[in-house]
Structure 1
Amino acid sequence: MRKLIAAFLLTGTAVAGPAIAADMPYYPPVIEIPDVDYGVSGSFYLRGSAAGNAMWAKEVFHPTATPRNYAITEYGYGYSVGAGVGYETGTGLRVDATVDYLSNEKMGANITGGAPLANGLHTLSLRSTVVLANAYYDFGFGDMGYGAAGGAFGYVGAGAGLAFNDVITDGPGLADTHGTNTSLAAAGMAGVGYDFGHIVADVGYRGLYIDSIANNTAAQPYSVAGAWVHEVRGTLRYRFN
């Protein structure tokens, strides 16, 4: 009898098992697909800058005077504003082209015994359009890294181009006339900034080197070689990405 009951139960289980399994829902296995890492992509940007400046050079050269070289004793002070367009690679490297309008007043030399020049302080008024091609490297601080919307960062850069100068002097003696010249120019930059995403702000130093500032049309022509314009400069960039 016991054997009969056991056989009956086994037969029932064999018949009911597949039916119960058929009634249960089927859930396919979940396959985890990792996110695709596209990296940091490059982007174009527009930029605008404004700066205060101080200009200095070693001496001024007067070819018609005796002696011909006079030490510059007074700094000139002024400002610059500019704009540009550039491209950042997403790796920290970026390049741009900039155009700046630069104004500086009162860099001066004290003339004594420089006939036919009148004795006294002669000061320079400079207006210059500076066109530069620049390259920079942006770097993050510590473990923060750097990228789009990358927070605080530092940068270094360099540029080269041309300066289109318009100059006139003020001082004792005959009134000067405006003169113009074109000169090679170069710059070195360093600073800090903050990346907000589409907007990037930075403040830093730019040392602008103007190879020659000259007025060859004046009654007493003159030139200044190796002028340095030291700037504290703020910049905003807008990314297109």
Structure 2
Amino acid sequence: MRKLTAVVLVAGATLVAGQAVAADLPYYPPVIEIPDVDTGYAGSFYLRGSAGLNMMWAKEVNHPTNLPATTTTFAIDEWGYGYSIGAGAGYETGTGLRFDVTADYLANDGMQATITGSNNLADGPHKLQLRSTVLLANAYYDFGFGNNYGYGAAGGAFGYVGAGAGVAFNDIITTGPGDPDVHGKSTSLAAAGMVGVGYDFGAVVADVGYRALYINRLENNATTNPYSINNNWVHEVRGTVRYRFN
């Protein structure tokens, strides 16, 4: 009985002492760290490279006649075919908008006008060879395909639309029956519209799309057989790979 009484007294004293000590200690509330929310929106610079196949068409070619005030017009009756390769650098805002500048080397051969009844040119098919350096400033909007294929922090499939404007430096050669090759150079305004689909792998983004490239005027001011071709359209299917620098 004495032992039990002693144990109870010791326990009571310990409890009272513990409460007194605890009352003297300062109180620090627990710190709960809440991580920042990752919305997936972050800007980044990128480099890009592209390659594609193209077809070119215009309505007609204009040849001056012996009278300076008049022009003989011949319909273009064959498409030209070729390719393009290019590179560029840009910035994406992380909100779907991105911007870049591109330089493309474009080659196209075979666009044709069949000449008949001209005072200056031999009758028959006359073909164009075009080599252009095209510089464009472009803007795009990237968009996801819904919850299952969202375009965001986790990457995924996306679509895009875009537009660009700039300048084309053109080197042209014309071949035809009975005539020597005619060489010429010209500089023209250029513009483009783009649409396509792609996949975001993270640091690397790949896409394939269609580009309609407009070259305002191809012109050869040579002394012999000068000509001009207005409103040239180059239809391209291109693949592009971008590399991000975050």
Matched, 1:82 2:80: no
How far did 1:173 drift? 2.2
Matched, 1:63 2:64: yes
How far did 1:63 drift? 1.4
> What are the Cα deviations for residues 103-149 of structure 1, in whole angstroms up to 9, with x where unaligned?
00000011111222111111100000000000000111111332355
Task: Tell me the equivalent position of 2:235.
Answer: 230
Match among 169, 189, 195 for residue 164 of structure 1: 169
Task: Tell me the equivalent position of 2:37.
Answer: 37
For residues 213 and 149 of structure 1, do their structure 2 counterparts lie closer, same or farther at Cα, with a shift above 3 Å needed? farther
In structure 2, stretches of 5+ residues that fail to align are: 22-27
Match among 7, 17, 22 for residue 15 of structure 2: 17
> What amino acid is the match of 1:156?
V
Between 48-57 and 149-158, report the one with greater CA deviation. 149-158
For residues 205 and 214 of structure 1, do their structure 2 counterparts lie closer, same or farther at Cα, with a shift above 3 Å needed? same
Matched, 1:190 2:195: yes
What is the aligned residue count? 234
Match among 133, 138, 142 for residue 134 of structure 1: 138
Matched, 1:204 2:202: no
Whole-angstrom CA distance in 2 between matches of 1:16 and 1:164 = 94
| Cα pair 1:43 1:89 within 8 Å, conserved | yes
Whole-angstrom CA distance in 1 between matches of 2:93 and 2:205 = 15
Task: Tell me the equivalent position of 1:51.
Answer: 52
Whole-angstrom CA distance in 1 between matches of 2:220 and 2:85 = 24
Between 149-158 and 62-71, report the one with greater CA deviation. 62-71
SS in 1 for 2:34: coil
How far did 1:16 drift? 3.8
> What amino acid is the match of 1:173?
G
| Cα pair 1:204 1:232 within 8 Å, conserved | yes
Matched, 1:214 2:219: yes
> What are the Cα deviations for residues 65-116 of structure 1, in whole angstroms up to 9, with x where unaligned?
7861111100000000000010001111000000000000000011111222
How far did 1:33 drift? 2.2
> What amino acid is the match of 2:219?
A
Identity in percent: 63
SS in 2 for 1:204: strand
SS in 2 for 1:123: strand
Using the size of structure 2 for normalisation, the TM-score is: 0.87
> What amino acid is the match of 1:215?
N
How far did 1:171 drift? 1.3
Whole-angstrom CA distance in 1 between matches of 2:186 and 2:139 = 26
| Cα pair 1:60 1:69 within 8 Å, conserved | yes
In structure 1, stretches of 5+ residues that fail to align are: 1-6, 23-27
SS in 2 for 1:15: helix
> What are the Cα deviations for residues 8-46 of structure 1, in whole angstroms up to 9, with x where unaligned?
887555224346888xxxxx8754322112542111100
Using the size of structure 1 for normalisation, the TM-score is: 0.89
Whole-angstrom CA distance in 2 between matches of 1:14 and 1:182 = 100
| Cα pair 1:148 1:195 within 8 Å, conserved | no
How far did 1:218 drift? 4.9
